[in-house]
Amino acid sequence: MPNGNPEARPAPALTLPRQDSAPREAFLVLPGLNLHPHRLDPLTDVLNTAGAAAIAPRLTGFATPGDPALRRVRAADWLADVDAAWQSVHARLPDAAPSLLGYSLGGLLGLLWSLEAGVPLRRAILLAPALQLRPLLRAVMAVAGVLLPGRLWLPSRAPATYRFHSGTTVAAYRALAVLEHRLGAHLDAWLGGEGGGPPPMLIAASADDELISLMPLGALAQAFPERVTLLPLNHTPRPGFPAHLGLDATTLGETEWQRLLGTLRDWLRRTDADATAAAAGTATVDGGASA
């Protein structure tokens, strides 16, 4: 894609793996707060190649660059967008289980939607997930959310070829803060041994990330070593690129990108085999009980 900020964004479409017209899994592909959704296309291709479908929901405020809906967006709007996308996929692929590929805001949004909608995820891939923001950023957002009008646009640090809008509204940051707060209770429950714990997860993040706290990521990996795989990203960002923006060959560098791809493909195969074995074991137990 030569430009991450085109005149208009094509409507998102459900992509299917070439080898299977009725896949048993569909990934919700959710971008960051101002990431152009097409920047996740290389990872979506990996999912399709692995046999999964993928859908990129149309999030409120991201119909076209400068979309005025972003001036008044709420957390509830984004959760409803994800729910509507999943319902459309479920109607077309009723036997497909939901999974998640989420970058930054997308990881936070997808997990909270699953928990609050009562739709368990088969598995989740989280890149630099904004499960908890760094304390200073949280404080700044809290102050800005109170003092500044929601319609105000704030400039974006992201390179022009990666962002969707030239900036982000205060209303969007408020919505992000609401999502983070609501997910916090679920994270505390998981870490406290309640609620059954997370689905199988692959989490990739840089130790130098400027925006997110790594504490909950490490805590999840430590508490659930059999379910959570944590991949520390080790890359030197290009000039003008934040460490938080590590998601392809350009932002990570070719060597680190290939390491991420290799880990992702191995994790997809392993967790798919584990799920298949677990399903077969359940079927055997059920069959034996019936006999």
pLDDT in tens, 195-225: 889 999 999 999 999 999 999 999 999 999 9
Query: Is 73 domain-assigned?
Result: yes
Confidence at residue 13, expressed as pLDDT on a 0 to 100 scale: 75
The CATH number for 171's domain is 3.40.50.1820
Q: Is residue 101 part of a domain?
A: yes
Element (H, E) at 103: strand 97-103
**What SS3 class is residue 30?**
strand
Determine, yes or no, domain membership for 12. Answer: no
Phi/psi of residue 259, nearest 5 degrees = -65, -40
Query: Does some domain include residue 16?
Result: no
Kindly state whether residue 15 falls inside one of the protein's structural domains: no
Cβ–Cβ < 8 Å for 102, 110: yes
Classify residue 8: in a domain, yes or no: no
Whole-number pLDDT of residue 8: 42
Q: Rounded distance, CA 115 to CA 195, Å?
A: 10
Q: What is the DSSP letter of 195?
A: T
Q: Is residue 18 part of a domain?
A: no
What tokens were used for 10?
């094509």
Q: How far is it, in rounded angstroms, from Cα 92 to Cα 134?
A: 40
Task: Give the burial class of 27: count Cβ atoms within 10 A of its Cβ; 0-12 exposed, 13-18 middle, 19 or more buried.
Answer: buried
Indicate whether 60 belongs to any domain. Answer: yes
Question: What are the two backbone dihedrals, phi and then psi, of residue 100, each rounded to the nearest 5 degrees?
Answer: -135, 135
For residue 32, give its domain range: 25-290
By CB neighbour count within 10 A (0-12 exposed, 13-18 middle, 19+ buried), where does 150 fall?
Answer: middle
Distances (CA, A) of 118 to 52, 58, 66, 98, 114: 21, 21, 33, 12, 6
Tens of pLDDT along the chain (291 residues)?
A: 333 444 444 455 799 997 767 899 999 999 999 999 999 999 999 999 999 999 999 999 998 888 999 999 999 999 999 999 999 999 999 999 999 999 999 999 999 999 999 999 999 999 999 999 998 888 888 887 778 889 999 998 889 999 999 999 999 999 999 999 999 999 999 999 988 899 999 999 999 999 999 999 999 999 999 999 999 999 999 998 999 999 999 999 999 999 999 999 999 999 999 887 877 776 555 656 443
List the structure tokens of 159.
Answer: 């390179």
Instruction: Yes or no: say if 260 and 238 are a contact pair by the CB < 8 Å rule.
Output: no
Residue 78 contacts residue 84 (beta carbons within 8 Å): no
Please tell me the total count of domains within the chain. Answer: 1
Tokens of 235: 């890359």
**Residue 152 C-alpha from the chain's centroid:** 26
Distance of CA 153 to the CA centre of its chain: 24
Cα–Cα distance measured from residue 201 to residue 220, given in angstroms and rounded to the nearest whole number:
10
The interaxial angle of helices 170-191 and 215-223, nearest 10 deg, is: 30
Whether residue 109 contacts residue 78, with contact meaning beta carbons closer than 8 Å, is answered with: yes
Q: If you ran DSSP here, which 8-state letter would residue 19 be given?
A: T
Whether the CB-CB separation of 152 and 70 falls below 8 Å is answered with no
For the record, the structure tokens of 142 come out as 């809290």
Q: How many Å apart are CA 50 and CA 39, to the nearest integer? A: 19
> What is the structure's pLDDT at 215?
96
